Structure 1
Amino acid sequence: MKRTLLNIFYNAIYQVFIVLVPLITVPYLSRVLGPKTYGIYSSVNNTTQFLMVMCILATSYIGSRTISRVRTFGTDQELTEAFWGLWYYQAIAGCITIALTIFVCVAFKVQYWSQLLLMVPFLISSQFDISWFFQGLADFGRVVLKNTLVKLTSIVLILLMIKSPADLWKYLLIMSITTMLGSLAFWLDIHRYVGRPTWHFYQFKTTSKAMATLMIPQIATQIYTSLDKPILGWLSTSTQVSFYDNSQRISNMLLGVITSISLVIMPKMAAQGAKEQKTVLKKSLEATVMLGLLFMVVVMANTKQFVPFFFGEKYLPMTSLMFWFTLTIVLIPTGGVFANQFALANGKDREYAIPVVVGAIIEIALSWFLDRDFGASGAMVAILVTEVVVLVLRVAVVRQYFDFRYTFHDVPYYVLIAALTLIVGLIWPNFIPSAFFNMTVKSLVMIAVYTGLMFVFKLDLNQDLKVLLQKAKGRVHHDS
C-alpha cells in the first residue's frame, strides 16, 4: 500500500509537470502573444497531439499492463522481449507518421504548415516515449527526476526568448525540442532493466489485434480532446480558440493529478484477482470523486477573480467558459476509473473502445452545429455533453462485472458535500485587496469545510485517511 501511494505521488508530479510548463508560462505568454497568436499555437499544438497518437499507437496502454504482468509473473528475458517487441510498433509507426506529416506540409501547404513543421520534434518525442515501461514497473521516481530538469529549462528559455507575437516560431521550437529531450532521457537508464534488443515483435498476433482494437478509441478520444481546437479554428476564429483552450488549462492541470491515480492503479489491478479488484475499484472511485469534486468547486468559486489575475483583462470573455469546464475535473477521471483501471486492466478492450467511439461521433456532430454560430461557447457545450455521454457509457458497458450499489455507495454524499462547499465559496466575501491572497484564503476555507463535512457524514474513505495520518504521525515520531 505504501509503495502504491508513493507511486501515485510520483506519477502525480509527473502528470502535473506535463502541463505545468505551459501553465507557469501562460500569464506571460497570454500577454506577450495575445489571444489571436495564442489561438494559432493552440490549433497547431492540438493537431500535433492528434498526430502523436499515430506515432504511439496504443503502446502506452498495452505496454503498461503487459510490463506489469511480465514483471509479476515472467522472467528477465521475457521482460526484455516484451519491451523491445512492443517498442518496435512505436518506432515504425513514428517513422511513417513523421514522413507523411512532412510530405503533406511541404506538398500541400496546409493551414499553418510552417508551424506544424516546427513541431516535428514533438512527434519524435512520442516515437521514443517509453514512460509506459516505467509505469508498468511502477518505477515513477526515475521518470520524474529525468523530466524535471528538461521542463525547468524550457521555462527559462521561454522567458528569455519570447518577447512578441512574432516569436511564436521560437515558442513552438522550444516546446517541441525540450519535450523530445525529455523522452530521450528515458533511454539513458533502460540498460538497467532490459538486455540487448531482440529482433522480433512481442506476441505478434495477440499484440497486433490489441493494437488495432485500441487504436480506434485512441483516435476517437483525440477527435474530441485535441481536434476540437482545430475544428473550432476552422469554423470560427483563432481568438475563440485561444479563449476555449486557455479556459481548460487549470482543469487539465488538476486532471493530471487525479488521473495519475488511474495510471498507477491500472497495472496494479492487472496483476490482481477479482476479489481484490472489487475493493480497489471502490476505494479508487471514492478517492477520484473526492479529489475531483474538491478541485472542481474550489476552481469554480475563484474563476471570476482568477481569469483577469492570471490571464489578463483581454481574456475576460472566457470567465464563464472556465467556470463550466471545471465539470471535466470530475467527469473525465471518474470515467477513467472504469475505462483505464477496470476495462483495460482486465483486457476488456472492446468495452473500453465503445464509449469513446460514440463520444467522437457526438462531438463532431455537435461541433458542426454549434461552433460556427456560438464559437467557444458552442465548443464548450459540445465537449461537456460528450464527456457526460462517455462517462455514462463507460459505467454501463462494464456494469455486469462489478457491484454497482457497493461501488457507488458513498458517491451521492460527496456530491452533496461539494454542493454545500461551493455555496460557501460563492457567498464568501472578497474582503482582501490582493486577488491572490483573497483566492488563497477562500480556497483554504473551502478545503476545511469540505474535509469537515466528509467526517460529519462518516464516509468509508475517512478510515483510510485516518490510517494514513496515523502512519505518517508515527513515522515522524520514529524519525525524531
Structure 2
Amino acid sequence: MSLRKNYLFELMYQIIMVLFPLMTVPYVSRVLGANGVGVFAYSGSIVQYFILMGTLGIGVYGSKTIATVRDDKQKLSKTFISIFSLQITMSLLAIVAYVLFVLFGVNESKLIMYLQTLALLSCLVDCTWFFTGLEKFKSIVLRNTVVRVISIILLFILVKNPDDLALYTLIMTGSTLLGQIVLWVGIKDYITYVPIALSDILSHLKPTLVYFIPLIAIQIYFVLNKTMLGVFSTKAEVGLFDYADKLLKVCLTFVTSLGTIMLPKIAYIFSSGKIAEVKGYIHKSLDFSTMIAVPIMFGLAGISSEFIPWYLGKEFEQTIDILLIISPTILFMAWSGVFGTQYLLPLGRMKIYNISVYIGAVINLVLNLFLIKNYGAIGAAISTLAAEFFVLTVQFIAIKKEFTFKPIFMKSSDYFIAGIVMYIVVRAIGVYGGVGVGTTLMQISIGAITYVAMVMMIEYYKNDGLLLNELRKRYFALMKKRVYKKSTL
C-alpha cells in the first residue's frame, strides 16, 4: 500500500482513538463534572505506569522488527510469536502488581481503580504493532471504528449522572480491550505456527529494554503531570488539564500519524542500505509536518476563547489559558517526531534519542515540583511546554550537520506568515461573533481557507519572481551575445 494511503488510514485510526472519546466530552463534562473527570484521569494516569511496565518498549520495537522480516513468512511468524510471548509474560506481571497496589496502597476510588485493570488486559492482547510493522493500517482502522461507535452509543444510553462514573470507566476501558481482541481475527492470514524456545523470547528482552527506558521518561511528562496534579492540587485541576491535553492530542493526531507509518517504512529502507532515500523522506516529512502543524497551532490558540465555554461548559473555562500555553507544543512535537520517531529510532540511534527524552523529563519533573502547588494546571502546562522545547532542541543539535536545514526553514517561514495572518482573521471573527457553535465553525472554515490561500499566494509570488529573474537573465545573456557578434563584424 502507498505511503499516502497508509498515512490516511493511520490518520483515521488515530482520530478514532482520540476523537471518538472527545466527541463525548461536552456530554461527559456536564454529567460527571470536573471532579468526576479528574478522578477518571487520575486513575488512568496511575494505571499507565503499570501499562508501561507490562509493554516495555514492545510497541515501537515490535513494529520496527516486524518491518524488517515481513518478506519472510517463517521469520515473521517466529518473530511475532517470540515478541508476543514476552508481552504476555510482562503484562501478567504488571496486572498482578497493579492489583496488589490497589488492594494495599489505595484508599479512595477503589472501584474505579480496579476497573482500570481492563486497560492492562488490553495491553496483554495488543497486536497493533504487528499490523503497523506490516503497514496494514486498514485492518486496524476498520475494526476499531466499529468498536468505538458501539462504545459511544452505550455511553449516551447508560451514563446519566455523577454516580455513573464506574459505568463510564467500564465502557471506556472495555471498548479499548474489545478493539484489541477483534484485531486477532485477521492475524492468522499472515503467520503460521512456529515452535519457539525460551531463548527466542529472551533474545527480545534486551532490545525492548532499550526502547523501554526512554518510555519511562516520556511517561513522566505525559502522565506524571496528571498524577502530580492529583497529589499536590485537586482532582478538578486534573480534569481541567486532562481535557486541554485531550484537545491537544486530537490536534497532534494529524502530525504524529505520519511518524507511525514512517518508522517501519524508514526502518525497511535503512535495512536495504538506502541512506540517501531515507534523508529524502525526512526532508519531505519535515516540510509536510510543518505545513500541517503551524495552522493547527495557531488555530487552536485562536478558537479556544470562543470554543471552550460552549463545548466544555463554564466549569472548564480555565482550560482556555492552558490551551494557549501548550499550543506551541504541537509544532515542537511535530519536529521532534520527525527527528526522533522517523529518523533516530529507525536508524537505531537510541543514545541521543534517550538523552533528549531524559532532559525533557527532568525539566518537566523539576518545574512541576515548583509550579503545580501554586499554579495548578497552569503550572503543569508551563512544564509541558518547556519539556517539549528542550527535547526538540537536543535532537536538532544532534542531527543538524546531517541535513541541509536552510531551505526547510525558509519554506517554514512561509507557513508561519500564513499562520499569523490566519490567527488574526480567526481572532477577529471570535471577537465579533462571541461564544457559540456558529462562531467556532466560522473560525475553523474561514481560518483554513485563509491559511491555504496565503500559502498559495506566497508560493505563487515566489515562483513568479524566480521565473522573472530567469527570463531577465536569459534576456541579458542574449543581448550580450548579439552585441558581441556585432562588435566582431
* TM-score strictly above 0.5: yes
CA apart distance, 1:205: 6.7
Q: Which residue pairs with 1:47 in the alignment? A: 46
For residues 401 and 191 of structure 2, the distance between their equivalents in structure 1, rounded to whole angstroms, comes to: 39
Is 1:103 matched up with 2:106?
A: no
TM-score between both structures, scaled by the size of structure 1: 0.91
Q: 1:167 — aligned with what?
A: 164
- 1:366 — aligned with what? 367
Match of 1:268 among 265, 268, 271: 265
* Structure 1 residue aligned with 2:77: 80
Q: Which one of the candidate residues 105, 111, 115 is aligned to 2:112?
A: 115
Residues 355, 390 of structure 1: 8 Å contact kept: yes
Q: Does 1:452 align with 2:453?
A: yes
Cα distance, 1:154 vs. partner? 0.9
Q: Structure 1, residues 340-391: CA drift from partner, whole Å, max 9, x if none?
A: 1001111112222111111111111110110001111111111111111111
Q: Specify the alignment match of 1:143 in structure 2.
A: 140
Find the counterpart in structure 2 of residue 323 from structure 1.
Answer: 324
Gaps of 5+ in 1: 463-480
1:198, 1:115 → 2: CA distance? 40
Q: Quick check: 2:306–2:430 contact (8 Å CA) kept in 1?
A: no
Contact 1:43–1:233 (CA under 8 A) maintained in structure 2: yes
Q: Does 1:256 align with 2:232?
A: no
Q: Measure, in 2, the Cα distance between the counterparts of 1:23 and 1:281.
A: 31
Map of 1:467 onto structure 2 = none
Contact 2:13 2:140 in 1 (8 A): yes
- Aligned partners of 1:353, 1:408: CA distance in 2, in Å? 26
> In 2, distance between residues paired with 1:292 and 1:99?
41
Counterpart of 1:3 in structure 2 is 2
Q: Does 1:153 align with 2:153?
A: no
Query: Where does residue 435 of structure 1 map in the other structure?
Result: 436
Query: In structure 2, how many angstroms separate the alpha carbons of the residues matched to 1:286 and 1:16?
Result: 22
Matched, 1:198 2:199: no
Percent identity over the alignment? 28
Q: How does 1:211-226 map to 2 (within 5 A)?
A: 211-226=208-223
Shift of 1:444: 1.7
SS at match of 1:410: helix
CA displacement, residues 397-432 of structure 1 (integer Å, 9 cap, x when unaligned): 233433333554422322222122212222236555
Aligned residue in 2 for 1:313: 314
Do 2:86 and 2:201's aligned partners in 1 also have CA atoms closer than 8 Å? no
Residue 184 (structure 1) aligned with residue 181 (structure 2): yes
RMSD: 2.1
Structure 1's 400 and 130: CA in aligned 2 closer, same or farther, altered over 3 A? Answer: farther
Question: Which residue does the alignment assign to 1:399?
Answer: 400
Partner of 2:353: 352
Distance 1:106 1:344, change over 3 A: same
Which whole-Å deviations, capped at 9, do the CAs of 1:208-259 have from their partners, x for residues lacking one?
3321221111011011101210111100111111111112222111212221
Pairwise CA distance, 1:110: 4.9
CA distance in 1: counterparts of 2:320 and 2:111, whole angstroms: 32
- 1:478 corresponds in structure 2 to none
The structure with the largest alpha-carbon Rg is 2
**1:21–1:154 contact (8 Å) kept in structure 2:** no
Partner SS for 1:196:
coil
**Structure 2 CA distance for partners of 1:67 and 1:166, relative to 1, 3 Å:** same
Equivalent in the alignment of 2:471: none
1:203 and 1:458 map into 2 onto residues whose CA distance is 54
Aligned length: 459
Residues 89-148 of structure 1, C-alpha deviations (whole Å, 9 max, x = no match): 211110000001001211233554332111111101012111111111111111111111
Q: Which residue number in structure 2 is paired with residue 126 of structure 1?
A: 123
Q: Which runs of 5+ in 2 are unaligned?
A: 464-489
TM-score (norm. length: structure 2): 0.89
